[in-house]
Amino acid sequence: MENSDSGRAVEIQLRWPPFDPDTVIASELPIAREYFRLTEDTISPCTVEIGQKSGFHVHRKITRLSSGLSECRDWVTLSDRIPRRIELERKGWFIMPSKMHRDSRRLIPFAVIGIIASLAIHAFEPALVNWGWVDGSFAGSVRLGLLDYPILLLIFLPIFCIPIMMRLIASVWDFRRTRKFRKNLPQTPVVTMGDDDCTQEQISAQIEFPEVRDDWISAEARIQVGLLNPRRPMLLHALGRKEGQQNPPGISTPLAIRQYASSELGTGFGESTPLEGPDTQRLFLSPLPVQKRGNACPVPLDGGTLNVVLPDGDWPGSEYHPLFATHWELILRIERETNGPLLFVSPLIMKDDGRASKISEMPTQSGRSEMADS
C-alpha cells in the first residue's frame, strides 16, 4: 500500500435499530464505525446521510486514508445484480400472517398489568382494607378445594391466557395455510420495468398475470425501498467486539438455528416468522428494518402498463454491501375472498445519478411479520 496520506477511504458510521426499535432509547446505543480503502480503479460511492446522529442513522462519506487506517479492507460492493440472499428471502409469493398475531401482541401488556395489579392488591390487602381504600369482598380470597385463591387473580388469569390462546390458534391456522399454499402456488406474474432511475417521482411498469384465480378480487402495486440488516460479523467488528463476547446493546445473542445465514442479527426465529424452520420455504415476508413505501396503485387483473410512484426521499440506488445495503422491490398485493391477501415480490435494480442522498429521519419499524401490515 502507498503512503496513507495519498489515498482515500469510505467511512461508514451507523447506529443500527434492533429487532424492536421502539423498546430502546436510540441515543444510548453505541455507534459503529468502519473504514474501507478506495483503490485507484474503484468508483467512489455517493455520500449518504440517513437519520440524525442523535438517533438511529447510517452515514457514509469519503475521507482521507490516515496512517491509522492502513489495515482496513478494500471497498467492494455489488450494485448490478440481485444477491442470492435476496433471491432466497425476498422474491416470489408470500402470504400474510393471521391478524390474530398482531391483536394478541397488543393485548399482552394489558393482561400483564392486570396480573401484577392483582398480586400487588392481594399483598397489601390487609392495609388497604383497614384504610378503607378497597372493599374486602373485592380484594378477598375464594376457597377452591383445600386452598384459598385471590379473587382478582382468578379474574385476570383467564384474561392473561386469552392472547396466548389467540397466538396458538393463529399459528395453527397459518401452518395449515402455508402447507396448502405450497402445494398449489400461482404462476409467476411477468413484471417489466420501463426505467431504473430512482431519482424520478414515478416509473412505468408492465404487469401481466399468466393465471388469475377465481377467488382473486383485486390487485395493487407499490415500490418500496429500505436497508437490509448489516452482516453480523462486520457490524461486531465496526463496534470493536468479537463473537462470543458480551453482545453490544441492541444486538441479540446469535441463535443455534438460523433460517438463513445472512438474514438476522441474532433475533427473529419463531418471532418474525411464526412456525417457519430452516428447511422450509419462506412464505412470510419479513419487514425491512428500515423501510419506506411508495403509494399503491391499482393493477387490472387482466394486466397492463401503469405508472408506479416511488417512495419519498433522496434514496440511493440498489447497493449490497455487508455493512450498508440499499434494497428496492416492487410488491403486488392481491386481495382474495378468503385466506387473506397474497403478496408477490419482485426485487429491482435501481440506479442513482451519484448525487448525495440525505434522509432526515430513518424510517425504522419492528421486524415482526405480523406487524408489517399495520
Containing domain of residue 193, as a range?
84-97+189-356+363-371
Q: Is there a domain that residue 184 lies in?
A: no
Q: What are 91-150's pLDDT values in tens digits?
A: 999 988 888 888 888 888 888 888 888 777 777 777 766 776 666 555 667 777 777 777
Assess contact for 223 and 288: CB atoms under 8 A.
no
Residue 68 grid coordinates: 491509522
Q: Is there a domain that residue 299 lies in?
A: yes
Q: Is there a domain that residue 285 lies in?
A: yes
Same domain assignment for residues 172 and 285: no
Average pLDDT, the chain: 83
Residue 138 grid coordinates: 373485592
Same domain assignment for residues 167 and 222: no
Same domain assignment for residues 242 and 367: yes
- Beta-bridged to residue 291, according to DSSP, are 226
Tell me how far apart the alpha carbons of residues 271 and 148 are, in angstroms, rounded to a whole number. 37
Phi, psi of 34 (to 5 degrees): -140, 150
Q: Is there a domain that residue 282 lies in?
A: yes
Same domain assignment for residues 125 and 249: no
Cα distances (angstroms) measured from residue 180 to each of 56, 213, 333: 40, 15, 19
Residue after which a domain boundary falls, among 114, 147, 177:
177
CA 315 to chain centre: 18
Q: How confident is the model at residue 67 (pLDDT cuts 50, 70, 90)?
A: low
- Beta-bridged to residue 50, according to DSSP, are 58, 359
Same domain assignment for residues 115 and 238: no
Q: Is there a domain that residue 64 lies in?
A: yes
> Bigger pLDDT: 148 or 64?
64
- Beta-bridged to residue 284, according to DSSP, are 95
Q: Is there a domain that residue 14 lies in?
A: yes
For 75, counting Cβ atoms within 10 Å of its Cβ (0-12 exposed, 13-18 middle, 19+ buried), the class is buried
Q: What are 13-46's pLDDT values in tens digits?
A: 999 998 888 888 999 999 999 999 988 888 889 9
Same domain assignment for residues 55 and 91: no
Give the residue from 52, 66, 93 showing the smallest Cα distance to 9.
66
Same domain assignment for residues 69 and 131: no
Instruction: Please enumerate, as own/partner, the contacts of 108-116 that have beta carbons within 8 Å and a separation of 24 or more.
Output: 108/163, 111/156, 111/159, 111/160, 111/162, 111/163, 112/160, 114/156, 114/159, 114/160, 115/153, 115/156, 115/157, 115/160
Tell me how far apart the alpha carbons of residues 66 and 70 are, in angstroms, rounded to a whole number. 7
Same domain assignment for residues 53 and 162: no
Same domain assignment for residues 251 and 324: yes
Assess contact for 352 and 198: CB atoms under 8 A.
yes
Same domain assignment for residues 131 and 230: no
Three-class secondary structure of residue 105 per DSSP: helix
Whole-prediction pTM value?
Answer: 0.83
Three-class secondary structure of residue 205 per DSSP: strand
Same domain assignment for residues 342 and 256: yes
Same domain assignment for residues 315 and 299: yes
For 171, residues 6+ apart whose C-beta sits below 8 A from its C-beta are 98, 101, 274, 275
For 145, residues 6+ apart whose C-beta sits below 8 A from its C-beta are none
Q: Is there a domain that residue 182 lies in?
A: no
Tell me how far apart the alpha carbons of residues 20 and 259 are, in angstroms, rounded to a whole number. 19
State the total domains in the chain: 3
Q: Is there a domain that residue 79 lies in?
A: no
Assess contact for 348 and 315: CB atoms under 8 A.
no
> Bigger pLDDT: 374 or 102?
102
Residue after which a domain boundary falls, among 123, 151, 177:
177
Q: What are 178-219's pLDDT values in tens digits?
A: 888 888 899 999 999 988 889 899 999 999 999 999 999 999
* Terminal Cα distance for the chain, rounded: 52
The per-residue pLDDT for 66 is 73
**Residue at grid coordinates 378497597:** 134
